[in-house]
Structure formats: structure tokens, C-alpha cells
Amino acid sequence: MRLAGKTVLITGSTDGVGRVVAKRVAAEGARVLVHGRNLDRGESLIGELRADGHVDADFLEADLSSLAEVRKLALAIETSEARLDILINNAGIGSGGVTGKRELSVDGYELRFAVNYLAGFLLTHLLLRKLLASTPSRIVNVASLGQAPIDFADVMIARGYTGSRAYSQSKLAQIMFTIDLHEELAGKGVTANCLHPATYMNTNMVRQSGTTPISTVEEGADAIMNLVVSPELEGRGGRFFDRQREARAQPQAYDPAARARLRTLSLRLTGL
């Protein structure tokens, strides 16, 4: 897919791999919608893009731990943008490391499930009309190789909580959502895929978890851009990639009954 003249939204793009992807997308001639929750970092990136001659870029501030702010973000895009060609759900929070404590979102949901999964679920559904009006369009969900099956009797992990389990469950939920999206949008010109971009990239999130980085954000950006522009993926969705190679996710991702339970729960939690 050629990006010149396209509009691309990248959540969580004021830092880390999202920032690199925003710069690459801008360099390809796209209109870039930068998202983050830190105004200073957002304005800094917009300044860098415009200094490099990429003037068609704007910053949208929203804290995705609040579903109300997710709705405000979607409304801002719906009312201000003529089109939306690419949605990259990249924003997320890590496991919190070995001392990670269970936290709740503004809406009372386990925080990693809320930010890493529910926010993208809601945002994507709210922007589907715009994506469908801009076909051929693409959705890229940035997941992880770290995946844990969802215990539907305790989705918010009130018992036996660990940050690693919470993070891994949220990432599997993203993958299950991607497979469902592919089935829902089949034949409608919107392609949805997901990926593990790279292992332990040199990001603040990885460092804060106490882990030594072993990959670069540039490697992760390569993998994300592959799902954005690869002609081989035109019309081919519902797939999980380990970097730039198609891979198999955790088995629960391919269980239609589990995906149906997750979909029903997600619709209820987000009020869709």
C-alpha cells in the first residue's frame, strides 16, 4: 500500500516504537495522527515532523485508561478527518515488572486489560465507519509473543494476580479480537492483522519492567510497517506475525467459543 495521501492513526506514538513508526509513515507522505497522553511529548514529535518538512501531522491527546477519553478521541477523528486509511493500535502498558501491583482503570477494570485491549477494541469499533469509507484500509494491532489464556471466571484477575499474567492475557485478547475482526470485515475492504514486533525492545516500558533490552525499536518498526504496506497482505487478515513471519498464537485464540465469550464481555464492558 502506498501511503502518500493516506491518513494514519498510531496510538501510543509519542514514544518508543510508535514514535519511530510515526516518523516513517510521515516520510512516506501520509497524514499522521499522533496520539499520546503527554502533551509535551506529542508537541515535541509534531515539531520534529514539521521541521523535517512533514507538515500534515497533528497530535491528539487522550488517556486510554478511560473509556470516556477513548470515545472523545474517536469523536475528534470522526468529526475532523475526511478519511482514515490505517489504524495502528500500538498504545499499551507493560507488566510492571516483578513488583507489579494490581491496578484498576478509571472504569474499574484491571488496568492492563483496559489499556492494552479494551481501549483498542472500543476505538476500532467507533472508527470502523471511517475505515470502511476509506477502503482499502488496514488495522494493525500490536500484540506480543507473551500470551496467557483468559480465565473467564476471573477476567480481571482478582485472584492470583501477577503483572506478567495480566499483560499476557491482554495481549492474547488483542489477537482474539483481530481474528474476529477479520471474520466480521471479510470482503469489505478492511484488513486486520496483529503482531509481536520484536522482543524486549529498547523502550521505557521494557526498562521499567527491569528487563535488559535485546531488540531495537527500529526492528519493531520494520515489522509494523510490513503489516501496513505489504502488498502480500492485501485482503489477507486474521493473522498473527512474529516480527515479519506469520506464526501461531496461543491455542485459545483459535477457539470460536472463547472468542465469542470475549466479544460478548467486551461489548458489555465498553457499552457498545
At residue 213 the predicted structure's pLDDT band, cuts being 50, 70 and 90, is low
What pLDDT shows up at residue 88?
Answer: 98
What pLDDT shows up at residue 210?
Answer: 66
What pLDDT shows up at residue 84?
Answer: 98
Beta bridge partners of 191: 138
At residue 1 the predicted structure's pLDDT band, cuts being 50, 70 and 90, is confident
What pLDDT shows up at residue 99?
Answer: 57
pLDDT at 98 over 70: no
Selecting among 109, 117, 167, 200, the annotated active-site residue is 167
167 assigned to active site = yes
Kindly report the CATH number that applies to the domain delimited by 7-270.
Answer: 3.40.50.720
What pLDDT shows up at residue 59?
Answer: 98
pLDDT in tens, 25-41: 999 999 999 999 999 99
**Which pTM value belongs to this model?**
0.95
Taking the domains of the chain in order of start, what are their residue ranges? 7-270
DSSP H stretches of helix in 136-212: 163-185, 204-208
Indicate the residue type of 4: A
Contacts of 149 (CB under 8 A, 6+ apart): 169, 172, 250, 251, 252
What pLDDT shows up at residue 212?
Answer: 73
Question: What is the DSSP secondary structure assignment for residue 86, as one 8-state letter?
Answer: E
Q: How many CB atoms lie within 10 A of CB 125?
A: 17
The mean per-residue pLDDT over the stretch 189-205 comes to 86
pLDDT at 220 over 60: yes
Averaged confidence pLDDT in the chain: 94
